[in-house]
């Protein structure tokens, strides 16, 4: 398997990567491979799965932050 050496990683990025690797119970190398796979080979999800995921996170957001009228006004202002 090919090897890769990455040089001059900013300290804050290295620290974050190390922290995330620990939280996922992975080695630093395994976390880097996972990050690369996630970015370079994203998995496609079906529209049904995307809707399911959206519905799952919806309760986490306050629906009263922006009113429907404010949304409609913003849309209308952007139209010619």
User: For residue 59, what are its two tokens?
Assistant: 């309760």
> Can you state the angle between helices 28-40 and 11-23, rounded to 10 degrees?
100
pTM (two decimals): 0.55
Long-range contacts of range 63-70, CB-CB < 8 Å, 24 or more positions apart? none
pLDDT digit string, tens, across residues 5-63: 999 999 999 999 999 999 999 999 999 999 999 999 988 889 999 999 999 998 888 87
Say how far apart CA 78 and CA 80 lie, in whole Å.
Answer: 7
């Amino acid at each position: 398997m090919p090897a890769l050496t990455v040089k001059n990683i900013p300290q804050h990025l290295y620290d974050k990567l190390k922290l995330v690797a620990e939280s996922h119970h992975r080695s630093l190398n395994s976390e880097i491979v996972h990050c690369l796979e996630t970015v370079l080979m994203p998995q496609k999800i079906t529209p049904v799965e995307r809707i399911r995921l959206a519905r799952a996170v919806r309760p986490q957001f306050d629906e009263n932050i922006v009113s429907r009228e404010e949304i409609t006004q913003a849309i209308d202002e952007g139209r010619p």
